[in-house]
Structure 1
Amino acid sequence: MSLSSSSLEQLFIDNLIGVDPNQKRLRYLKNQQQDTGNRQMLEVERKALEARQSGENAKKIFLDFTQAHLHDEVAQELMQRLSSIEVVSSSLFDLGPNFPALLDALSAKAVTLNQLDPLISNVDWLKEDVLRLVNQPRYRNKTSSGNLVKDIKTALRFLGVEALQSLVPVYAFRHCIPHSTEPFVQFKVKIWDYSLATAIAARAIADSQGLNGFVAFCAAMFQTMGHMVVIRNYLRSYAQVKRTELLRARDARDTELTDALEALDADAGFLSSSIEEFAGIISADLIARWQLKRMPLAAILDQIADQTALSSCMDLTRAVKQADTYVQVKFLIQEQRLDVEEANKALNDAGIHNEMRKMLAGLDLKKLSFE
């Protein structure tokens, strides 16, 4: 069986969201236009169905019709939201105006703790995170008194530059994970596991090729920011449209439509196709707004969003794409969603040959190692 990179991506996103492969799926369709006669069509379709069928089967088909028509309007609302960079930016935790300068500084080969001290002090949420970390028992035991560390300069000495190069992007990403992704409860855990694993793998590939491992780590970590923007805005769009339609159905005393709407929930297939459609370009747009002076993150994420061929993309982009493919394949095999033949084909197509596979297989992709 041949598995293209795009179908691997869709299969992985399906797994990330929890799409039932046996269920008929709704998809986000490009240039989807709202049918102004949707509500009238619901009534016509319902009567036609009732004339031909009865019982549970008719109810199931009516539910499917209702969900599909609901998503005609959801698609319009979602597109409107995602077309606004202000809405997109406000969908995530605000990392602050001083965060990009810190990332740039961390990418330099000869950066010192004295240079990082004022930069970290200017990012309030990060300063709190770092102090919270070094006041855990494993660090406090290293001090002669065991007292709480309140000074960021002292805290940074406990950690060192190399640890900060892992911690800063990881803490930033964790702050951006939505608090709730109901009904897709596994998304928060899976997006974290996936992003961290890809970042660790990308850094290892970059380091092995003499590239900047920190840049590869950040690009791999932040490439899924768009996933979180899409899921948050889809859930908000769905809730808003469903609430409006419920009010209309109740006002019309349409108990059958009211019951159908109340029985429905957000659709995994529609969300998955929306992430595939929009997430890559949103991640690239968000990172471009950081206006990094030293790190080529925006260029890397642009090439990922554009699906630039491996033979044509920058070396760092290739490292991130290879890490991405390796982690997706590894996770899908674990979930029994990919067989060995498909896995080998995907790895070979990404240029991940035996030597690189052995190197990646020796990594712990579940946690940072900086001590």
Structure 2
Amino acid sequence: MSILTNTEELIKQRFEALFLDVKAAQHSAINEGKPELSVIEIEQSKTARSLLRVEKQAIREKDLNIKSDLSFLNTITDQINIEVAKRLNESIQDTDHLYSKIIGIDRSLPELLDLVGIKAATISKVEPIATELPWFFNDLMKFVNQPKYRRIDNKGKTVVVETMRVGLSFFGLENLMTILTSLAFKRSLPQITDPYPQIKLRIWEEALATAISCKQIASVVGVNQDHAFCIGILQTTGKVVVSKLYFRLFESVLREALLETHNAQKHEEHSALTRITPSGPFLNHLIDTHALKISAKLIDKMAMKRVMIANAMFEVANNESAVNLSPLALVLKQGKAYAQYRMLKGHKLIDLQQSKDFIRTLRMPKGSLELLKTTDMHSLDLSINND
């Protein structure tokens, strides 16, 4: 198991903070290393005059009361988190449930991904299987009819795509793996993550940036670009699973605890429970512990025969050293790290020196950085097939 350098640990902490809340992450980065003020220091900073001894004592008592209250609240929170972690650990043992219910991978999706990835694929072969995906037609129509992709006929009118066949051929068969994987993953994103509403956006941002980075690196080192994009997206499914389960289980455990303390007339504990909210740092801990291994199990369960990415996912999930990684696994490891760097840079959470230090740890293949620097990480690079 590899040990993180100081730079890698810094990036990890910044990225976990970004996952929860952009503004909070930026505030934390700005104030990194600065000592936090106690209640006494805050109160004293509000006035330039010297406080009387009795006033100082009152502030000290207020400080102690706040610390005592926080300590009790933290104890109750820890108890809730322990129970949530226990139930989550039990839930993730059932891969079938995660696959079909939590992520909702359709039976036909692996078969379709296998098919669109071969040179012999044709629209007539793809269309019947694509039709079996209940959501795919509507999502595809919305995608191809976006304003940025609209075609204009010779009369100046917008050409609206209305059939599956035209939609499938709109960008050419060579882009179907990218489109299909993206649309399928986007459907799985968590919807309710209060008090961290940005989580859904961050997961999508990470998945897309990782997939695009992997595809670009793959083009330099001679790895299948479709497979690289696919694993770059799907490696994030474990994070989706943990996020969805955490918020559901937290709500369930908290509701049970509130009922139990109410019935037992434990007023102090009940009052503390009413003030507890989901813990972002604890969610990050659960993701760090479980997410990649869940991704590997889910990809393995897809049992794709031609898009062979499961072994590479297991290598990364098991944190194999770079020298032991297969070419695709190394592409994923580097693409994932580079995507995190670009996200931090985009949100102004990493400075120039930190960027240089981190990029150096990635040992990127020659020519890849020049390519990645000019790559848009926020949208799919697709051109309309005019044939």
Counterpart mapping for 1:37-48 below 5 A: none
| Counterpart contact for 1:347–1:353, Cα < 8 Å | no
Give, in whole Å, the separation in 1 of the partners of 2:175 and 2:150.
13
Report deviation, 1:81: 1.3
| Counterpart contact for 1:169–1:218, Cα < 8 Å | yes
AA matched with 1:73: E
Instruction: Name 1:171's counterpart in structure 2.
Output: 183
Q: Which string of whole-angstrom CA distances, capped at 9 and with x for unpartnered residues, describes residues 132-181 of structure 1?
A: 33455654645988676443223323331133232111101110101222
Structure 1: which 5+ residue stretches go unaligned? 24-52
1:122 and 2:153 aligned = no
Give, in whole Å, the separation in 2 of the partners of 1:293 and 1:143.
44
Check 1:282–1:158 CA distance in 2 against 1; reply closer, same or farther (3 A cut).
same
Check 1:364–1:336 CA distance in 2 against 1; reply closer, same or farther (3 A cut).
closer
Tell me which of 303, 308, 314 is aligned to 1:291: 303
AA matched with 1:214: D
Counterpart mapping for 1:21-100 below 5 A: 55-100=65-110
1:346 and 2:349 aligned = no
Report deviation, 1:131: 3.0
- Point out the more displaced range, 222-231 or 95-104: 95-104
Give, in whole Å, the separation in 2 of the partners of 1:317 and 1:221.
13
Q: Matched residue of 1:92: which SS?
A: helix
1:235 and 2:238 aligned = no
Give, in whole Å, the separation in 2 of the partners of 1:251 and 1:333.
51
Higher Rg: 2
Tell me which of 364, 368, 379 is aligned to 1:356: 368
Tell me which of 350, 353, 378 is aligned to 1:366: 378
Tell me which of 202, 206, 212 is aligned to 1:200: 212
| Counterpart contact for 2:220–2:365, Cα < 8 Å | no
Instruction: Name 1:41's counterpart in structure 2.
Output: none
Q: Matched residue of 1:177: which SS?
A: coil
Instruction: Name 1:256's counterpart in structure 2.
Output: 268
Instruction: Name 1:13's counterpart in structure 2.
Output: 16
Report deviation, 1:227: 0.3
Instruction: Name 1:318's counterpart in structure 2.
Output: 330
Give, in whole Å, the separation in 1 of the partners of 2:379 and 2:348.
23
Instruction: Name 2:53's counterpart in structure 1.
Output: none
Q: Matched residue of 1:58: which SS?
A: helix
Report deviation, 1:327: 1.4
Give, in whole Å, the separation in 1 of the partners of 2:165 and 2:335.
34
AA matched with 1:17: L
Q: Which string of whole-angstrom CA distances, capped at 9 and with x for unpartnered residues, describes residues 82-138 of structure 1?
A: 222233224534231111011111222343323322221222211222233345565
Q: Between the two proteins, what is the percent identity of the paired residues?
A: 26
AA matched with 1:83: Q
TM-score by length of 1: 0.84
